[in-house]
């Protein structure tokens, strides 16, 4: 029997990796799946036909560390992709809460501001392109500016 690290607790339980879980599912040996919430993280416990419970470990784990999911939606999607559609959820402590990311809030605010500016800029370009005013060539524009400049200089004399 190998011990699995679940949250900060070491539990003497058997462990299983994803490949072995796939084999157990194919053979029909899995009787129940439980999602265990510990300290804001989620782990998976698999109950097999002989009544033993196996904890899912990450494939790269060499020390029996349980696979940790940070989000309940992610673990549910993972299990659903494995072909598991029925599961139980148990919470081992009261610290399960949504983690906040204030840096993401600021980043999203910048994204929305940039999108609003882009929308405004495109509206301005479209309005200029759809304007009823005649388009001027560079020479016409320079001549017009020179005439205005000369008129202003003459009015100051």
Instruction: Please check whether residue 34 is in contact with residue 4, taking contact to mean a CB–CB distance below 8 angstroms.
Output: no
Instruction: Please check whether residue 59 is in contact with residue 16, taking contact to mean a CB–CB distance below 8 angstroms.
Output: no
Higher-pLDDT residue of 8, 24: 24
pTM given for the model: 0.53
Task: State the pLDDT at residue 94.
Answer: 57
Q: pLDDT of 101-136, one tens digit each?
A: 778 888 999 999 999 999 999 999 999 888 888 888
Task: State the pLDDT at residue 120.
Answer: 97
Alpha carbon distance 22, 139 (integer Å): 75
Instruction: Please check whether residue 34 is in contact with residue 90, taking contact to mean a CB–CB distance below 8 angstroms.
Output: yes
Q: pLDDT of 76-92, one tens digit each?
A: 999 999 999 999 999 87
């Amino acid at each position: 029997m190998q011990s699995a690290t679940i949250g900060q607790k070491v539990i003497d339980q058997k462990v299983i990796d994803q490949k072995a879980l796939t084999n157990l599912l194919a053979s029909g040996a899995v009787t129940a799946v439980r999602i265990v919430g510990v300290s804001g993280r989620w782990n998976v416990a698999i109950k097999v036909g002989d009544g033993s419970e196996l904890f899912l470990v990450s494939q790269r784990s060499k020390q029996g560390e349980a696979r940790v999911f940070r989000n309940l939606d992610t673990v549910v999607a993972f299990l659903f992709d494995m072909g598991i559609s029925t599961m139980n959820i148990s919470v081992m402590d009261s610290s399960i809460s949504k983690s906040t990311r204030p840096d993401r809030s600021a980043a999203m605010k910048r994204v929305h501001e940039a999108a609003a500016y882009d929308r405004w800029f495109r509206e301005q370009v479209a309005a200029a392109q759809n304007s009823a005013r005649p388009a001027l060539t560079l020479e016409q524009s320079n001549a017009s500016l020179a005439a205005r400049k000369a008129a202003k200089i003459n009015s100051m004399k």
